[in-house]
């Protein structure tokens, strides 16, 4: 930020890797800076390369274009987080992707996640996040469950 300012270049946004199962990098070091400098936050991989869509099953080999990239997310804690996401999705009658994105949209500094859809149906599932209102209890449960698996000492 200082180098950009010295060069007269404005910085408007940060694009961190951030989702329910990969939190520490953004939450530990970047949230205060983003908020202090008024940066928009546009996280990439908000669905953890498809893991948070619920399409993968524990104990089954992941297949598909993103299967190799999933390895970083396949911890016991991540599976526990996914179980809470699935339960919350059932309670709201939405796709798991909507819950993961709704959680992210409510995080400090987050402007909009960069989500990708391969089909119109996937897009509809993801767009449901904009209308989904998670209760404080649901947010707290998602925060606590995912904090343990995502490397944050305590939820932000």
pLDDT of residue 156: 45
pLDDT of residue 64: 60
pLDDT of residue 67: 60
Q: Confirm whether pTM is higher than 0.85.
A: yes
C-alpha–C-alpha distance, residues 107 and 85, integer Å = 16
C-alpha neighbours within 13 Å on the C-beta side of residue 26: 29
Closest CA to 155 of 53, 26, 49, 41: 26
pLDDT at 62 over 90: no
pLDDT at 131 over 80: yes
Average pLDDT over residues 32-39: 91
Q: What is the pLDDT of residues 84-125, one digit of tens each?
A: 999 999 999 999 999 999 999 999 889 999 988 888 999 999
pLDDT of residue 43: 96
């Amino acid at each position: 930020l200082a180098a950009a300012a010295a060069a007269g270049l404005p910085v408007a946004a940060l694009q961190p890797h951030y989702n329910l199962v990969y939190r520490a990098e953004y939450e530990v070091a970047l949230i205060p800076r983003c908020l202090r400098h008024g940066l928009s936050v546009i996280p990439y991989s908000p669905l953890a390369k498809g893991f948070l869509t619920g399409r993968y099953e524990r104990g089954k080999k992941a297949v598909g274009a993103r299967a190799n990239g999933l390895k970083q997310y396949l911890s016991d804690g991540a599976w526990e987080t996914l179980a809470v996401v699935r339960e919350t999705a059932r309670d709201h009658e939405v796709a798991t992707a909507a819950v993961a994105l709704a959680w992210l949209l409510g995080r400090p500094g987050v402007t909009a996640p960069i989500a990708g859809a391969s089909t119109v149906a996937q897009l509809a599932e993801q767009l449901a996040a904009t209308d989904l209102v998670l209760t404080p209890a649901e947010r707290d449960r998602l925060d606590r469950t995912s904090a343990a698996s995502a490397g944050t000492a305590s939820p932000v």
